[in-house]
Amino acid sequence: MPKKELETANRPDNTAFTQQRLPAWQPMLSAGIVIPGFVLIGLAFIGIGVALFITSRNITVLEMDYTGVETSSDCFKCSAGTIPNCLCNLYFTLNDTFPGQVYFYYGLTNYFQSHRKFGVSVDAYQLSGDTYYFTNPLNVCAPYQFVNGSIPIVPCGLSANSMFNDTFKLYQLVNVSKPVPLDGRGIAWWSDYNVKYRNPTTTPLKNAFNGTIKPPCWPKPAYELDLTDPSNNGLVNQDFLVWMRRAALPNFRKLYRRITGPDYASGLPPGNYTIEIAYNYPTMIFNGRKKVVLSNVSWMGGKNDFLGVAYLVVGSLCVVMSIVMLIVYATFKFPEDG
């Protein structure tokens, strides 16, 4: 009786899916696609490479080491780290105008901010302004969690403690030293400044830090980092944020200031300059170097010859490959294609 039913019940569905007949695009690496593709990619890359290369060429970068390794250097006196509040000067001359918006960076070499310890040793709650964590920093901050085992450090952790604390002043030497205005606002990432790092809402800010102590290496507590600008003080101090955005590689530069001012809006004019450095940060002990870098940027960012060259090389290789493939294809093509 239900024989018919049974059969229909057991018979698998006749759908394209179950029968593996789904309509499908079946691409094949045919010569008609691959060879033109290679040519196109090659040409595009060569084009981009040329553009990148030219752009990169037009960017000016001035990089100066001020570690004071050489005795001739003015900063040599400070490099030993024996003189407190040591000041030294770095002189340089511009023969041509340093065009465009000029950025002032400091650079460090052989500095392993990418070490896991740096990444781990941070209390994000604390940095986001949660006052509970001011008094109870996370364990990950150890050994910069407490001083003497009880007084909490704010901001805690290795990363904060090791904050770069050299300061720079740039003077143009026109008869007298004319200070070049440096703007420290907006040098940190927008998201860091507006989201990630927050001061506690307590006013005055200092009260929030009651019962805490500054990181041991810091000369002054966090709430005194920039007394002139409350929006740049405490945990949202831009220099602090810049430092806390740790570098991926051992040689890095970080933005220190933008050069502003009406006289320098279109660049640094030729002439002699001096940078007055408050030399505080010790790098000689681990063979690190400190640098200042002046640079302008283009649409593609800073000077970067590698990218342009790489694009040119890869593009040319693609074109060469396409020719090789064409030859091979012409010699060994499928008989059916004839």
Partner 1 sequence: MEMFRQSPPPEEERRVRANDREYNEKFQYASNCIVTSKYNVITFLPVNLFEQFQEVANTYFLFLLILQLIPQISSLSWFTTIVPLVLVLTITAVKDASDDYFRHKSDNQVNNRQSQVVINGSLQKEKWMNVRVGDVIKLENNQFVAADLLLLSSSEPHSLCYIETAELDGETNMKVRQSLSVTAELGDPNNLASFNGEVVCEPPNNKLDRFCGLLYWKECKHPLNNQNMLLRGCVLRNTEYCYGLVIFAGPDTKLMQNSGRTKFKRTSIDRLMNTLVLWIFCFLVCMGVILAVGNAVWESEVGSLFQSFLDWDLPLDNFLFSAFLSFWSYVIILNTVVPISLYVSVEVIRLGHSYFINWDRKMFCSQCSTAAEARTTTLNEELGQVEYIFSDKTGTLTQNRMSFNKCSISGQAYGDVVHILGEQPKRLDFSSFNPLADPDFCFYDNTLLESVKLGDPHSQEFFRLLSLCHTVMSEEKKEGELVYKAQSPDEGALVTAARNFGFVFRSRTPGTVTVTELGRPVTYTLLAILDFNNIRKRMSVIVRNPEERIRLYCKGADTLLFERLHPSNHHLMNITTDHLNEFAGEGLRTLALAYRDLSEEQWEEWAESYRLADRSTDCRKDRLAATYEHIEQDMMLLGATAIEDKLQEGVPETIAILSLANIKIWVLTGDKQETAVNIGYSCKMLTDDMSEVFIISGYTVQSVREELRRARERMIQFAPTREEGKEGGVEEWGEACSLGNGFGGGGGDAGGAGREWASAGEKQQPPPPGPPSSTTLDSISGEFALVINGHSLAHALEADMEGEFVSTACACRAVICCRVTPLQKALVVEVIKKHKKAVTLAIGDGANDVSMIKTAHIGVGISGQEGIQAVLASDYSFSQFRFLQRLLLVHGRWSYLRMCRFLCYFFYKNFAFTMVHFWFGFFCGFSAQTVYDQYFITLYNIVYTSLPVLAMGIFDQDVPDQRSLENPKLYEPGQLNLLFNKREFFICIAQGIYTSVVLFFVPYAVLSQAHQGTGEPLADYQTFAVTTATALVIVVSVQIALDTGYWTAINHFFVWGSLATFFTIMLAMHSETLFSVFPVQFHFVGSSQCTLVQPLVWLTIALATVICIIPVLAFRFLKLDLKPQLSDTVRHTQLVLQKKRKPAMPGMGGVRGGGVSEGRLGFRGGSRRSGYAFAHQEGFGELITSGKNMRLSSLALANFASRHSSSWIDTLRKKKHSTTHPPQGAFGEGSPAPSYVSATAPPLSNSSSLLGGSQDTPLEEGTRTPPVSLPQTAPALSSGALTPTSVRSPGGDAAGGWTLSLGAVQEALVGWRGVAARIGGTSSPGPSPNLKETNHTVRDGQTDRQT
Output 245 or 289, the one with its CB closest to partner 1: 245
Provide the minimum distance between the beta carbon of 75 and partner 1 in the complex, in angstroms, as a whole number. Answer: 19
Residue 216 phi/psi, 5° resolution? -55, -35
Specify the residue, 19 or 272, whose C-beta has the smaller distance to partner 1.
19
Q: How far is the CB of 248 from partner 1 (least distance, A)?
A: 4
Q: Which of 89, 109, 128, 280 binds partner 1 (CB under 8 A)?
A: 128
The upper half-sphere exposure of residue 169, i.e. CA atoms within 13 Å in the direction of its Cβ, equals: 10
- The DSSP secondary-structure symbol of 92 reads E
For partner 1, which stretch binds (CB under 8 A), given 89-97, 121-129, 145-153, 219-227? 121-129
Kindly state whether residue 1 participates in binding partner 1, applying the rule CB under 8 A.
no
Q: Is 6 in the site for partner 1 (CB under 8 A)?
A: yes
- Among residues 118, 134, 209, 273, the one that binds partner 1 under rule CB under 8 A: 118
**Minimum distance, C-beta of residue 308 to partner 1, in the bound complex (Å):** 10
Using alpha carbons, list the distances in angstroms from residue 14 to 10, 17, 207, 283. 12, 8, 75, 74
Gap between the Cα atoms of 300 and 56, Å rounded:
8
**C-alpha–C-alpha distance, residues 232 and 239, integer Å:** 9
**In this chain, which of 93, 149, 201, 332 binds partner 1, going by CB under 8 A?**
332
Instruction: Output the smallest distance, CB 175 to partner 1, in A.
Output: 30
Q: Which of 116, 132, 176, 204 binds partner 1 (CB under 8 A)?
A: 116
> Does residue 158 belong to the site contacting partner 1 (CB under 8 A)?
yes
* Binders in 86-115 for partner 1, by CB under 8 A: 101, 103, 105, 110-115
Per CB under 8 A, which of residues 16..75 are in contact with partner 1? 18-20, 22-31, 34, 37-38, 41, 45, 48, 52
Stretch that binds partner 1, among 204-212, 219-227, 252-260, 269-277 (CB under 8 A): 252-260
Residue 203 CB burial class (10 angstroms; 0-12, 13-18, ≥19): exposed
188-217 residues near partner 1, rule: CB under 8 A? 188-192, 195-196, 217
Toward partner 1, which CB reaches closer, 168 or 329?
A: 329
Q: Which of 259, 277, 200 is nearest to 234 (CA)?
A: 200
Chosen residue from 43, 64, 87, 300 binding partner 1 by CB under 8 A: 300
Q: Distance between terminal CA atoms of the chain?
A: 61
CB < 8 Å & 24+ apart, contacts of 316-320: 316/42, 316/46, 317/42, 318/38, 318/39, 318/41, 318/42, 318/45, 319/38, 319/39, 319/42, 319/43, 319/46
Q: Is 185 in the site for partner 1 (CB under 8 A)?
A: no
Nearer to partner 1, 13 or 85 (CB): 13
Q: What are phi and psi of 48, to 5 degrees?
A: -60, -40
Of 325, 309, 279, nearest in space to 80 by CA: 279
Nearer to partner 1, 11 or 204 (CB): 11
For residue 68, give the nearest of 88, 53, 41 by alpha carbon. Answer: 88
Nearest to partner 1 of 30, 203 (CB atom): 30
Residue whose token pair is 């019962």: 211
**186 touches partner 1 (CB under 8 A):** yes
Q: Per CB under 8 A, which of residues 216..245 are in contact with partner 1?
A: 217, 242, 245
Q: How many CB atoms lie within 10 A of CB 234?
A: 26
Q: At CA 279, angle to CA 277 and CA 284, rounded to 5?
A: 130
